[in-house]
A and B are shown apart, each in its own frame.
Chain A
Amino acid sequence: MVSFLFKRLIQSFIVMFTVALIAFSMFRFVGDPINNMVGQDTTQEQREELREQLGLNDPFVVQFLRFAGNAVVGDFGISYKFKVPVSEMIAERMPATLELAFVSAVLALVVGIPLGVYTALRRNGVISKMVMTMSLFGVSLPTFLIGILLILFFGVVLRWLPTFGRGDVVDLGFWTTGFLTKSGILSLILPSITLALFQMTLIMRLVRAEMLEVLRTDFVKFAKARGLPDRSVHFKHALKNTLVPVITITGLQLGSLIAFAIITESVFQWPGMGLMFIQAIADVDIPIMAAYLVLIAFFFVVINMIVDILYYAVDPRLRTSDGS
């Protein structure tokens, strides 16, 4: 287990290093940072001075190491456009994205898994077939379209729910949360459904397929032959075995919830990191883009690590294979 974790750590490090390298190359190759920072009337001398001051004349390796070193302690430099440290901007925006992603993930799991189990158990039922048909929409409709349709229906026609922003938030000092106010919670509903829908249908279809597979196994048949009631066979034995492979996919999907919140955030004008990233692209604000890239990669790596450890917790076959 230790050697496995160690290997994983090395892999994670390589991934982070590569992403950092890509993020950093943007500084070098996407336009001239000095041009982006100064006005039209800055003289050539002033530009050279600034260049020297910022260390842009140093060799590539030195600059990259400086970037990486700073990134490790969370310093991604100063935004070209807003002239404030990127780390501050991210700290301000991150809670919005993480809260949205969290609610979506919970929604996707809480709805997706039971629906998957249900459609597997009642394979030929009318409701199952309806759910399966509906789920095709979830997989095939693009996120932005779903978002826009939801806004149109619940926001414009019915006027039940807010259509943009986070509503009122409470500042806890290190975190701003929308969970504590009514408007905050109402504002979360539409964007989280939009973001969750794709993952929900994916998880549902995955659980269904796995569950059907497990229901055909010998141990399920043997459990039935021992007279165990359906409830125990389905939930105690079959479902647990179903969830082993589902964990991996779900873990990866959580990462992409955070990463792909961009579209949802744009549609709902959600003040999260994704929206900030979109604006940064428009402004060619490279420090923000670099920081965002590195951060998302970091989330993925951490989630993957957790998934691997969870695997050990869930599946006894992995735990003891070192020992015996």
Chain B
Amino acid sequence: MELLQINDLKIQFPSRRGTVDAVKGVTLTVKPGEVLGVVGESGAGKSTIGNAVIGLLEPPGRVAGGDVYLKGEQINNLDRDAIRKIRGRRIGMIFQDPLTSLDPLQTIEQQLVETIDLHLKLGAEKSLERAIDLLDQVGIPNPAERIKHYPHQFSGGMRQRVVIALALCAEPEVIIADEPTTALDVSIQAQILELMRRLCREKQVGMLIITHDMGVIADITDRVAVMYRGDLVEEGTTQKILGDPDHPYTKSLISAVPRPDVRLHRFPMVDYIEKEEDRKKDFDISTHWLGQAQDFDAVEGSLVSVENLVMKFISKEALLKKNRQYFTAVDNVSFDIRQGEVFGLVGESGSGKSTVARMICGLYKPASGSVNFGGTDLTKIKSETELDYYRRQMQMIFQDPFSSLNGRMKVMDIVAEPIRFHKLASSNQEVETIVLDLLEHVGLGRAAALRYPHEFSGGQRQRISIARALATRPRFLICDEPTSALDVSIQAQILNLLKDLQEELGLTMLFISHDLPVIRQMCDRVGVMKMGQLVEVSETETLFEAPSAPYTKELLSLMPKLDKLSHSGLEIED
């Protein structure tokens, strides 16, 4: 018998502008011990399915049709109290962000014991025993002592283990995991997925894992359901879906996943969702304002070189300077970026890669060391006007497309601001023409100029950021995780755009990412950072084929295995 059965589930969100069908008749089944992946991009409706099953749809969302059965027993028509008794007891739930999933004011013990005692009625003492045992099972060292701690005393990965312990504490029959590893580093992700798979097999739990990450799907699932805009477009074994998908959306989705094994010139076919608007090339970039001779001195060899960069943050405040404790975020880092190349920095969160970027563009002042740009040491320059000259030559694209644009400015003004600030155009009319050309060139179209940032999707906003960065005619672009907040198909589009621009304009780039496959697709050379130190710098292909530092080897071994993905079959259709 099926453990969890979802029949023709329909979920609607009524709104003033009419009803939105978030899920349009989806049928799924999970067997005991089986991991079913639900994959799709944002807005596909995959999370709402999980919430609907346990009766926690956010209002005004409602189930408009269909049934949910748990071991043959219908659960979607239960009253509040009855469904509450199923939650946690028979269906466990794991959420995306372990940093916010736990009550910050209660110890792990309080939270675990409360839940265990509620479901199993063991009494305080037995509940505590079981809680410690659970923490041990999910791999928390020294559980008897750690259980007394508060959530903030655990790292992200450890917190996700606590969350899993909480979800498992009443031995549920089904676990619904909503993006369980998205907020974690790859090494932690691998451990958590391993843990979840083991628990599934051992306890014969059925798992519904909701994710946008093909790596996770390939790693842990037995079967996959692909969702697109509320529809279930394809379902089958993981092998089949990843290796030989039938539906064009699935093909497009898989072709957008950056390949860890081979460097491709561009992502082949990524335009199923939003047609990548044709970038009209009705002007020749080399004669246009954008490509015109930039009034910078030509540079031989390396454009940027940093030497012995050190950055320290105060970790413990003290009145006396000698009692202060510092955390060394960047520890003696040196590297060169050659004119015209894309240099990648890769590392896990907290490794100091963003801090390096911020020191290069002057957002942080290094504790020591130098930043040479075109042969000039920027850390020695005192005068603001002189610095502006260099700032104009380097621009930055940030990770979060939602907070890096001023929501109260029109796109026209956002992109025009750097041009006006650096007085790069003679008249207002010229500025406007340049902005419109830029917007068209990044694939947004001229009409975008009159709108505000909130009217755009994440990928479109990142295009605005790119247009803004290009507006000073820079020769050096710093991209700090430019696509890690985006869906894969959008990521592929943005990466394609960045590649094209880099070639057309001969840009030099510093490309920061935690994602090794993305690094492989984008960069000529790569530096690997670990805990503030640069452990290895080499040509990208060398790094991937023959890594020298042990840490690099470890990172590469943790990369999601996408062998099951068949890219070869897809490219032909392009």
Contacts and interface: CB of A to CB of B under 8 A. Distances in A.
Interface of A: 3, 6-7, 217-219, 221-229, 232, 236-237, 240-241, 244, 314-317, 320, 322, 324
Contact of B105 (A225, A229, A315, A320): A315
B93 A244 contact: no
Contacts of A244: 105
Interface stretch (B23-31, B94-102, B375-383, B472-480): B94-102
B167 interface: yes
B115 interface: yes
Contact of A218 (B101, B166, B318): B101
Contact of B114 (A3, A232, A320, A322): A232
| Nearest 3 CB-CB pairings of A with B | A227-B88, A225-B93, A227-B87
Given A322-B316, A324-B153, A223 B103 contact: yes
B84 interface: yes
B97 to A, nearest CB: 6
Interface in B80-112: 84-89, 92-93, 95-97, 100-107
A217 B101 CA distance: 8
Interface residues of B, number: 36
Nearest to B98: A218
Nearest to A241: B105
B373 to A, nearest CB: 37
Contact of A222 (B102, B106, B316, B319): B102
A3 B87 contact: no
Contacts of A232: 114, 118
B54 interface: yes
Contacts of A324: 153
A48 B96 CA distance: 81
Contact of B103 (A7, A219, A224, A314): A219
Interface string B307-348: 000000000111100000000000000000000000000000
Contacts of B170: 227
Nearest to B317: A3
Interface string B162-180: 0100110010000000000
Interface of B: 54, 56, 84-89, 92-93, 95-97, 100-107, 114-115, 118-119, 150, 152-153, 163, 166-167, 170, 316-319
A62 B329 CA distance: 52
B56 A226 contact: no
Nearest to A225: B93
A226 B88 contact: yes
Given A227-B84, A244-B105, A218 B95 contact: yes
B86 A240 contact: no
A316 B105 contact: yes
B478 to A, nearest CB: 32
Contacts of A3: 317-319
Interface of A is mostly: helix
B99 to A, nearest CB: 9
5 contacts: A221-B95, A222-B93, A226-B166, A229-B118, A232-B118
B114 A225 contact: no
Contacts of A315: 104-105
A227 B119 contact: yes
B152 A320 contact: yes
A317 B88 contact: no
Interface of B is mostly: loop
B104 A317 contact: yes
Contacts of B84: 227, 229
A75 to B, nearest CB: 33
A89 B69 CA distance: 77
A317 B319 CA distance: 21
A160 B202 CA distance: 73
Contacts of A227: 84-89, 115, 118-119, 170
Contacts of B92: 225-226
B87 A316 contact: no
A218 B105 CA distance: 14
Contacts of B166: 222, 226
B426 to A, nearest CB: 50
Given A228-B118, A315-B105, 18 more contacts: A3-B319, A6-B319, A218-B100, A222-B95, A224-B56, A226-B87, A227-B88, A227-B119, A228-B115, A237-B106, A314-B105, A316-B104, A316-B105, A316-B107, A316-B152, A317-B152, A320-B152, A322-B316
Contacts of B102: 219, 222
| Residue with the highest number of chain A CB atoms closer than 10 Å, among B85, B96, B100, B105 | B105
A240 to B, nearest CB: 5
| Residue with the highest number of chain A CB atoms closer than 10 Å, among B95, B100, B104, B166 | B104
Contacts of B163: 222
B249 to A, nearest CB: 30
A228 B88 contact: yes
A7 B319 contact: yes
B94 to A, nearest CB: 9
A237 B103 contact: yes
Contacts of A224: 56, 87
A219 B101 contact: yes
B423 to A, nearest CB: 44
A223 B153 CA distance: 20
Contact of A225 (B54, B96, B119, B150): B54
A228 B169 CA distance: 13
Contacts of B101: 218-219, 222
| Residue with the highest number of chain B CB atoms closer than 10 Å, among A224, A225, A324 | A225
A217 to B, nearest CB: 6
B97 A218 contact: yes
Contacts of A317: 104, 150, 152
A237 B114 CA distance: 11
Contacts of B119: 227
Contacts of A237: 103, 106
Given A219-B103, A221-B95, A241-B103, A226 B167 contact: yes
A49 B105 CA distance: 66
Given A226-B88, A237-B106, A241-B105, A221 B56 contact: yes
Nearest to A220: B103
Nearest to B80: A230
A312 to B, nearest CB: 13
A228 B114 contact: yes
Contacts of A241: 103-105
B116 to A, nearest CB: 10
A244 B100 CA distance: 16
A206 B95 CA distance: 29
A244 to B, nearest CB: 7
A6 B317 CA distance: 13
Nearest to A6: B319
Given A218-B100, A316-B105, A225 B318 contact: no
